[in-house]
Amino acid sequence: MSEFLQFAFSGITVGAVYAMVALGFTIIYNASDVVNFAQGEFVMLGGMSTVFLAAFGLPLPLAALLAILIAALTGVALNKLVIEPARDASVVTLIIITIGASIFLRGIAQVIFDKQFHRLPSFSGDDPIAVLGASLTPQSLWVLGGAAVIVVLLYVFFNRTLFGKSILATSHNRLAAQLVGVNVRFVLMISFALSAAIGAVAGILVTPITLTSYDVGTMLALKGFAAAMLGGMGNPIGAVVGGLLVGLAEALGAGYLSSEYKDAVAFVIILAVLFFLPRGLFGKTGTERV
Report 254-273 residues binding other proteins (CB under 8 A).
260-261, 263-264, 267-268, 270-271
Q: What angle do CA 257, 258, 260 make, to 5 degrees?
A: 160
Interatomic CA distance for residues 63 and 131, integer angstroms: 32
By CB under 8 A, residue 274 contacts other proteins: yes
Question: Does 275 help bind other proteins (rule: CB under 8 A)?
Answer: yes
- Give the gyration radius of the chain's Cα atoms: 19
Please give the Cα distance from 194 to 153 (Å, whole number): 11
Instruction: Pick the piece of the chain touching other proteins (CB under 8 A) from 42-50, 99-107, 157-165, 184-192.
Output: 99-107
Secondary structure string (H, E, C) spanning 70-114? HHHHHHHHHHHHHHHHHCCCCHHHHHHHHHHHHHHHHHHHHHHCC
Number of residues that bind other proteins (CB under 8 A): 44
Q: Which of 5, 69, 103, 184 binds other proteins (CB under 8 A)?
A: 103
Residue 281 in contact with other proteins, rule: CB under 8 A? no
Helix/strand/coil for 183: coil
Q: How far is CA 115 from the centre of its chain?
A: 22
Q: Which of 69, 95, 169, 189 binds other proteins (CB under 8 A)?
A: 95
Rounded Cα gap, residues 54 and 58, in angstroms? 5
Residue type, 86: A
Binding map of other proteins across residues 25-64, x = CB under 8 A, - = no contact:
----------x-----------------------------
> Residue 129 belongs to what H/E stretch?
strand 129-131
Q: Which residue's CB is nearer to other proteins, number 118 or number 150?
A: 118
Site string for other proteins, 178-217 (x = CB under 8 A): ----------------------------------------
**Residues in touch with other proteins (CB under 8 A):** 35, 82, 85-86, 89, 91-93, 95-97, 99-108, 110-111, 218, 222, 225-226, 229, 233, 260-261, 263-264, 267-268, 270-271, 274-275, 278-279, 288-290
